[in-house]
Amino acid sequence: MRRLFSVVMLLAVAMSATAAKPKFEIKHVEPLSWWVGMTTPLQIMVNGEGVSAYDVTILPEKQGVEVTKVHKADSPNYIFVDVAIAKDAKADVYRLCFSDGKRKYEYEYVIAERRADSKYRESFTNADLVYLIMPDRFANGNPENDFTDDTAEKAQRSHPGRRHGGDLEGMMAHLDYIADLGATAIWSTPLLLDNENGASYHGYSCSDYYLIDPRFGSNELFKEYVEECHKRDLKVIMDIVPNHSSTTHWWYADQPFADWTHQWDKYTQSNWTFSTNMDFNASKSDLYQMESGWFDRSMADMNLDNPYLLHYFKQWAVWWVEYADLDGFRVDTYPYNEKGPMSEWCKAVMAEYPNFNIVGEVWTSSIPQLAYWQGDNANKDGFNSNLKSIMDFPLHDAMRAAMTEAGSNVAWGQGMTRVYDVLSHDFVYHDLSNMMIMAANHDTDRIGDVCEGDSRKMKIVHTLLATLRGMPQILYGDELMFRSTDRSKGHPTLRVDFPGGWDGDAQNLFDKAQHSGAQKDVYDYTRAIMNWRKTKDVIHSGKTMHFIDRDNTYAYFRYDDNDVVFVYINNTDSVCEIPWARYAEIAEGLTEGRDVITGEIVTMTGAKVAPMSALVVEFQR
C-alpha cells in the first residue's frame, strides 16, 4: 500500500552460504516514523509472519537511539518494540534489525528532526469560525482518483449513498472561497482509508489509521493541503475515531491481542446510553454494553482498556499532528470510548502539545451530561475527562426548534425562549469559551431544511452563531442555504454535492457572481457578519447579559470593559420596537451605535426591527 515512507525490506543475509533464503516479510510498522525531542514514548508495532520469534535491535548504535524492550502479543505475528530516544539523539535513517539466531533482516525507520516550535503550536479557539467539509461531497479536483485498484467502492455520483469523487485537490482549489467567507479553521470529516464496499464516503469506518484514502489523495498531499490552509490563515482540525475501526482494517482478521476489539458471543450493539457513565443508578452491565457494544456490524469496537492499543492511539494522534502540522482534533462518538483510557489519551496529547485543542462529539440534549465531559468539570464522581472542548448540542437543538416556532403566537417556553433557557444554564459549564456551537453538521438535517428555505430564518441562525459565546461551526453550503435532495432518505441526501465542484456542473456556487435570490441574500449576510466577528474581541471573550421576553424576541449584550455589542432577534411576523429603556442596567449612556451589517448609525430609542430578522449593533463606551 502507498505509505509516506516507502519502506523496503532489505534482502535476507543467510548465516550460511548454502542456506536457502527464507520467505520473510514485515507487513506493517507503525507509527511510520518518529522525531527527536518528543514527550510521547515510542513503541513501534511490528506486524509480520512469525515476527515474535525474532530479537530486535536498532542500528546505527551510539546515536542516542536504542531498543529497550520487546513485548510479545497473543498473535505470533506482532511485537511491540520500546525505543528510547535521548534528547540529544541524532536524527537519521535507522535500521530495525531482526534476528532469530540464524537469519537477519533489516528495516529502515526514520527518526527525524522536530520543528523547533512544534510543541507550542497554537490551536483553534473561540476566535475562530470552523467550516465543516465532507470531502467526498465538496469538490472533485482529480477525477483520476475516483477509482483505484486497491479500494473496494467505486464512485457513482448519481447514487446519494455512494462515493461522488470529492478529494483533497478539490478542497485545495477552494480554500480562498472558505477564507473569504470569514472562516478561520476547517474541520473535514475523516480522510483516512475507509475500504467498506458501500457508503465508504463518510470515512468513519477506518481501514488504516496511517493512510489517507487514495480516493482523496495521499499522505503527502494531505500535508500539502495543510500547508496551503496555513498560507491563508486557516487552521486544520482532523476528525478522528478511536472508538471503532472497520472490519476491513488489515489487523481485523489477525488481531494482536484477543481483547484488541470487544468480543461477544453474538453480535451486540451499543445501547447508546452514555448517561451510564455518570448515572449513580446505572447497572454495570448497561455501562459495559454502552462502551463495548458495536456501532454497526462493520465497525469493530476498539478496546481502549488494552494498554498497547491505548498507546497505539496516543502515538497515532501525535504522529499526525507532527507529520501534517495539524491545529486540532475533533473526536467522533467521544462518550462511547472507555472514559478512563480516553482521559489518559487526552492528557497525553496535551502533554505533547500544551496549547492544543480537542473537541469531542458528545451528542446529548442534557446540559448536565454534556458538562460532565468537559475537562476539569467539578464532577461528583471525581472524573476528569481532560477533554478541552465539547460540542453544544443543547444549544443546537434550541436554535433549530426556535426556527420551527416562528411567529407571534408561540406557546410558553417555545420560540426564542428556548435559546434563552439553554444559555441560562451556562453556570453548569466549566469553560464556556471551549464549546463548539452549531445549528447543523453532517449528521443532522440541513438547517436550510429546518428553516424551510426561508432566508430570514437562516440569517437569524447565523446571527446567533456569530454572536453567542463559544466557537461557531457551520456546515459547508449552509452559507448558501443548501437543502437536502430528499429528507426521507436520511444522511446521504443531506450530504449534497457543492454545485461547481465537478466539471460540467450547471451552476458554480463557488463563484459569487452566480449567486442569486435567497441564496445570495444568505451568503452576503453570512460573509459580512462572520468577517466582522473575526476581529471582534468582545464576541470572543466578552461576557453575556440577556433579557427574558415571552413574545418570541430575544435580546442580549456581549460586553467587556471597552466594548459592547447588542443583539436583538425578532422571531415574530410583526415589526417590533426595541424596548431600549428595559436594558438600562447595561445600556445606560448608549444612545447610538453602528449596525454591523449596513454600517449605518442606529438611534436606539424607538428603533424598530423587521419581522423575522436580527439587528446587531456595536457601541464604544
Residue 366 grid coordinates? 442534557
Helices (H), 353-477: 367-372, 393-404, 417-423, 447-450, 455-467
Q: What are the tens digits of pLDDT across the range 414-423?
A: 999 999 999 9
The full length of the chain comes to 621
As a whole number, the mean pLDDT across the chain is 95
What is the pLDDT at residue 14? 35
In this prediction, residues 12-16 reach a mean pLDDT of 36
pLDDT at 489: 85
C-alpha to C-alpha distance for 157 and 338, rounded to whole angstroms: 38
Active site residue 497: no
The pLDDT of residue 517 is 98
d(CA 222, CA 106): 29
pLDDT at 22: 53
d(CA 425, CA 363): 17
Average pLDDT over residues 313-319: 98
The Cα–Cα gap between 450 and 335 comes to 27
Q: Over range 548-569, report the average pLDDT.
A: 97
| Known catalytic membership, residue 100 | no
Residue 16 pLDDT > 80: no
Residue 460 has pLDDT above 50, yes or no: yes
The CA-atom distances, in angstroms, between 269 and each of 222, 289, 293, 300, 304 are: 34, 8, 4, 10, 17
Q: If you ran DSSP here, which 8-state letter would residue 12 be given?
A: P
How far apart are alpha carbons 309 and 292 in whole angstroms?
15
- Catalytic residue (choose from 361, 478, 479, 497): 361
The residue-averaged pLDDT of 160-165 equals 96
Q: What is the pLDDT of residue 140?
A: 98
What is the edge-to-edge ordering of all strands in the sheet holding 563-570?
Answer: 543-547, 553-559, 563-570, 613-620, 592-595, 601-603
pLDDT on residue 261: 98
Residue 11 has a pLDDT of 34
DSSP state for residue 294 in the 8-state scheme: B
Spatial distance between the Cα atoms of 338 and 328, rounded to a whole number of angstroms: 21
Cα 292 to Cα 271: distance, rounded to the nearest angstrom = 9
pLDDT the model gives residue 616: 98
CA distance from start to end of the chain: 62
| The C-alpha cell that represents 159 in the structure block | 447514487
Task: Work out the average pLDDT over 287-309.
Answer: 96
Specify the pLDDT at position 312: 98
Amino acid letter for position 365: S
Question: Among 332, 352, 497, 618, which one carries the catalytic annotation?
Answer: 332
What does the pLDDT read at residue 497? 98
For residue 5, pLDDT beyond 60: no
- What's the rounded Cα separation, in Å, for the pair 226 and 211? 16
Distance CA 217, CA 250 (A): 20
User: What band does 620 get if pLDDT is binned at 50, 70 and 90?
Assistant: confident
Give pLDDT tens digits for 114-134.
Answer: 999 999 999 999 999 999 999
Q: Give me the mean pLDDT over the 461-469 stretch.
A: 98
List pLDDT tens digits, range 102-119. Answer: 889 999 999 999 999 999
The 10s digit of each residue's pLDDT in 330-387 is 999 999 999 999 999 999 999 999 999 999 999 999 999 999 999 999 999 999 999 9
Q: Are β-strands 26-30 and 42-48 bridged in parallel, bridged antiparallel, or unpaired?
A: antiparallel
| Distance from C-alpha of 317 to C-alpha of 486, rounded to nearest angstrom | 37
**By C-alpha distance, which of 296, 252, 303, 248 is closest to 272?**
296
pLDDT at 476: 98
Please report how the helices 307-324 and 339-352 are oriented relative to each other, as an axis angle in degrees rounded to 10. 30
Per residue in 582-597, pLDDT (tens digit) is 999 999 999 999 999 9
Kindly tell me if the per-residue pLDDT of 10 is higher than 90: no
Q: What does DSSP assign to residue 55?
A: E
Report the alpha-carbon distance of residue 384 to residue 364 in Å, rounded: 18
Predicted confidence band of residue 490 (pLDDT cuts 50, 70, 90):
confident
Q: Which residue segments constitute the domains of the chain, with CATH numbers given?
A: 13-112 (2.60.40.10)
Burial class (CB in 10 A: 0-12, 13-18, 19+), 6: exposed
Q: What average pLDDT does this structure show over 28-32?
A: 98
pLDDT at 20 over 60: no
Of 10-19, 509-518, 586-595, which range is least confident? 10-19
By the 10 Å C-beta count (0-12 exposed, 13-18 middle, 19+ buried), 88 is classed as: exposed
